[in-house]
């Protein structure tokens, strides 16, 4: 079943075209890599699919919902409840501890303090960093911070996780460990993942790959590799 | 890498005699080891025996008479099969990948090379995914993980070459155009 869909999505920043009519389908439960060289429009596509940006033209659907027709307020609510986002770095609030950071999305969604804290610590534990619950980001390594960020992105148990170069700032060994963990948890949770990366080694963690080039899905079929479905469900 | 297929590919452009064929090989495949003249003749002999090339009369350019060879229909068919075949995505196949791209461009133009590279890239990515699964499986013994790692790093290098070459195949075609 298709959970996310872009149909002829066009997006420019002023005179700079970023997407020139992108059409893709993301199946529920799949881990899809969006690849391509820097500047080809990967992040812009992720932002459009996540309802953060509104396309200039074309359609973006989440299930039955046409996100491109929704107001920012409705999209923001959807993002809080159904989506998780993970960026390269800088998403943790430096003044808060790990547990407070991870609890934040739950508090915003109206969960009580105590319950939110319990869930947050549970997620930190699942990512192997429970001992950092009362530590602030400034005292953590990059890998530890990203594990907290993963916990924060998943604490609301979103149906879709949007990850934009999530290991871009990590060394290769730390990156591998984080990706391994992320993929394992996503599969357990049946979370759909959109994994944006310019790195084929990162893309290899996904079930399938869509390559962008100059704001369009690469017409040569480059990267449109058959799904050797490990997500056979 | 199969020298026989590369020689067939070089002959697909028109009849050549043995020495011209050696020169064409060394010029078109500068990354490969120069092919020994004896190997060219031995290979031509096998190709002739298998009906993939035939002699195309004697060429005399002021020097001694030399036998030119040309590709038969069966030879052309064999060549097409080779170009359509995806290499097993293992490390260290890069010289074969390069030979195929060079021959594809020569025989059929840029699109043929691009089709091949796209299919080869898919095979490499598929293998990269399998190796990544081995690497991330907590049940995998460390020996397997390290072996997978070795292959992953080499496949990554091949994949980067494939991507770069896909971008530049048209230039390569222009360069080898007679
Ligand atoms: N906020 C912005 N303002 C102006 N141009 C932008 C902005 N964000 C991205 N771009 C441009 O849009 C194009 C696509 O960018 P992006 O989606 O970030 O690509 P990628 O994530 O693949 O590197 C690039 O040319 C980039 O310079
Ligand atoms: Mg980006």
Return the CATH number at B9: 1.10.10.10
Residue A201 has pLDDT above 50, yes or no: yes
Domain assignment present for B43 = yes
Same domain, B17 and B45: yes
Domain assignment present for B157 = yes
Segment A39-48, tens digit of pLDDT: 999 999 999 9
Same domain, B54 and B120: no
Domain assignment present for B166 = yes
Domain assignment present for B91 = no
Cβ contact, residue pair A204, B160, below 8 Å: no
**Range of lowest pLDDT (A143-157, B105-119, B163-177):** B163-177
Candidates B125, B135, B163, B170, partner chain A, best to mutate (most A CBs within 10 A): B125
Q: Looking at ligand 1, which residue's alpha carbon is closest to its atom 13? A: A18
Domain assignment present for B129 = yes
Determine contact: A228 vs chain B, CB below 8 A.
Answer: yes
pTM: 0.82
Binding site membership of A43 for ligand 1 (Cβ less than 6 Å): yes
Same domain, B73 and B109: no
Same domain, B60 and B111: no
User: In whole angstroms, how far apart are CA A44 and each of A53, A199, B29?
Assistant: 8, 17, 41
The per-residue pLDDT for A225 is 42
Domain assignment present for B68 = yes
Domain assignment present for B89 = no
- Which residue, B35, B57, B84, sits at the end of a domain? B84
Distance from CA of A168 to the nearest CA of B (A): 17
Q: What percent of chain B has pLDDT over 70?
A: 92
What residue numbers bound the domain in which B50 lies? 3-84
Q: Looking at ligand 1, which residue's alpha carbon is closest to its atom 6? A: A13
DSSP chain A: -EEEEEEEEEEEETTEEEEEEEEEEEETT-EEEEE-STTSSHHHHHHHHTTSS--SEEEEEETTEEGGGS-HHHHHHHHHHHEEEE-SS--S-TTS-HHHHHHHHHHHTT--HHHHHHHHHHHHHHTT-GGGTT--GGGS-HHHHHHHHHHHHHTT--SEEEEESTTTTS-HHHHHHHHHHHHHHHHHHT-EEEEE-S-HHHHTTSSEEEEEETTEE-TT-TT------S---
- Which residue, B84, B116, B149, sits at the end of a domain? B84
Same domain, B43 and B113: no
- Which residue, B51, B84, B117, sits at the end of a domain? B84
Same domain, B113 and B66: no
Q: Which of residues 169-208 of A touch B (CB under 8 A)?
A: 176, 179-180, 183-184, 200-201, 203-207
ipTM: 0.77
Q: What is the domain count for chain B?
A: 2
- Mean pLDDT (chain B) is 87
In the predicted model, what is the mean pLDDT of residues A68-85?
A: 94
Same domain, B77 and B110: no
* Ligand 1 centroid to residue B161 C-alpha, Å: 25
Same domain, B121 and B141: yes
Same domain, B120 and B57: no
Distance from CA of B72 to the nearest CA of A (A): 32
Domain assignment present for B136 = yes
Whose atoms come closest to the Cα of A34: which ligand? 1
The per-residue pLDDT for A226 is 37
The per-residue pLDDT for A232 is 34
- Mean pLDDT (chain A) is 91
Q: What percent of chain B has pLDDT over 90?
A: 38
Same domain, B75 and B110: no
Same domain, B172 and B106: yes
Determine contact: A229 vs chain B, CB below 8 A.
Answer: no
Binding site membership of A228 for ligand 1 (Cβ less than 6 Å): no
The per-residue pLDDT for A230 is 38
Q: pLDDT band for position B62 (50/70/90)? A: low
Same domain, B172 and B101: yes
């Amino acid at each position: 079943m298709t959970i996310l869909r872009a149909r002829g999505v066009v997006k420019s920043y002023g005179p700079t075209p970023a997407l020139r009519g992108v059409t893709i389908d993301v199946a529920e439960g799949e881990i899809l890599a969006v690849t391509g060289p820097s500047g080809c429009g990967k992040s812009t596509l992720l932002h459009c699919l996540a309802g953060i940006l509104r396309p200039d033209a074309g359609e973006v659907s989440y299930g039955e919902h046409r996100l491109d027709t929704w107001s920012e307020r409705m999209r923001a609510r959807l993002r809080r409840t159904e989506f998780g986002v993970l960026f390269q770095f800088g998403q943790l609030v430096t003044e808060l501890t790990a547990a407070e950071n991870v609890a934040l999305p739950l508090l915003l969604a109206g969960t009580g303090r105590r319950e939110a804290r319990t869930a947050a610590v549970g997620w930190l534990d699942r990512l192997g960093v429970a001992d950092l619950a009362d530590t602030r980001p400034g005292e953590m390594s990059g890998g530890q911070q990203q594990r907290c960020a993963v916990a924060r992105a998943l604490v609301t148990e979103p149906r879709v996780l949007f990850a934009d170069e999530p290991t871009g700032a990590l060394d290769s060994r730390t990156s591998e460990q984080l990706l391994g963990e992320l993929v394992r948890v996503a599969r357990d949770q049946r979370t759909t993942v959109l994994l944006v990366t310019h790195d084929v080694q990162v893309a290899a963690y996904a079930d399938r790959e869509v390559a962008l080039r100059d704001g369009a899905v690469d017409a040569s079929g480059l990267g449109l590799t058959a799904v050797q479905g490990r997500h056979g469900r | 890498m199969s020298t026989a297929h590369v020689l067939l590919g070089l002959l697909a452009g028109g009849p050549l005699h043995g020495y011209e064929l050696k020169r064409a090989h060394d010029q078109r495949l500068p990354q490969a080891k120069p092919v020994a003249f004896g190997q060219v003749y031995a290979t031509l002999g096998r190709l002739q025996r298998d009906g993939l090339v035939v002699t195309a009369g004697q060429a005399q350019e002021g020097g001694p008479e030399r036998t030119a060879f040309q590709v038969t229909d069966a030879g052309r068919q064999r060549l097409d099969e080779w170009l359509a075949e995806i290499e097993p995505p293992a490390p260290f196949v890069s010289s074969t990948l390069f030979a195929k791209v060079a021959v594809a461009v020569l025989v059929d133009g840029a699109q043929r090379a691009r089709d091949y590279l796209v299919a080869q890239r898919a095979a490499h990515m598929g293998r990269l995914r399998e190796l990544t699964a081995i690497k991330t499986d907590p049940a995998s013994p460390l020996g397997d993980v390290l072996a997978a790692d070795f292959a992953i790093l080499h496949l990554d290098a091949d994949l980067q070459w494939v991507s770069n070459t896909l971008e530049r195949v048209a230039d390569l075609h222009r360069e080898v155009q007679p």
